[in-house]
Homo-oligomer: A and B are copies of this chain.
């Protein structure tokens, strides 16, 4: 692995573990086992590191969020899809942990993060619309953006909410709880009433087991 990539990986991991404000460029250089001067040769300070990490995150999210807009998912794939979105967010969770403060200190990220929220909401709206067209959901047109907004908020703050309530919870448990919350938000709009929600949850548990097995094989 190139030094530049090792620096980025070490930064991401330290920011996620310790919180971005608690990590200095010297900490990162120590972690990668290079001199601070060598690190400075690659990145001129934390601003440059954060900007590069945000670019990776943005690119990952762009790919993930564009997929179901271009080609609607099968109904049963929607829940699995939200796992993928949550996993991406979890990988870059330091951005979300103190979002308001981070955006104040790195104003260049403001417009880009707002754009990301808009993408999340557009993707959610497009998934809801597709499920409604297929007759899976019974939802009025003016309710689609409202529900999409709630899904966006959940995607954005669920990790923080869980960090406060269950500081010891594991990543997979937090992500699983988030997908459960997504389902609960959508459940009242199921065309067949809220009862089938329980079936969906059951299948979700199966999916999760399969997915966890897949992850272990990676």
Contact = CB atoms under 8 A, between A and B. Distances in A.
- Please state the number of chain copies in the assembly: 2
Contacts of A113: 164
A100 B117 CA distance: 20
A84 interface: no
Nearest to A152: B161
A100 B163 contact: yes
A140 B147 CA distance: 21
Nearest to A116: B164
Interface string A158-202: 101101110100000000000001001100110000100000000
Interface string A114-158: 100100000000000000000000001001001101100110111
A3 interface: no
Interface string A91-117: 000000111110110000010011001
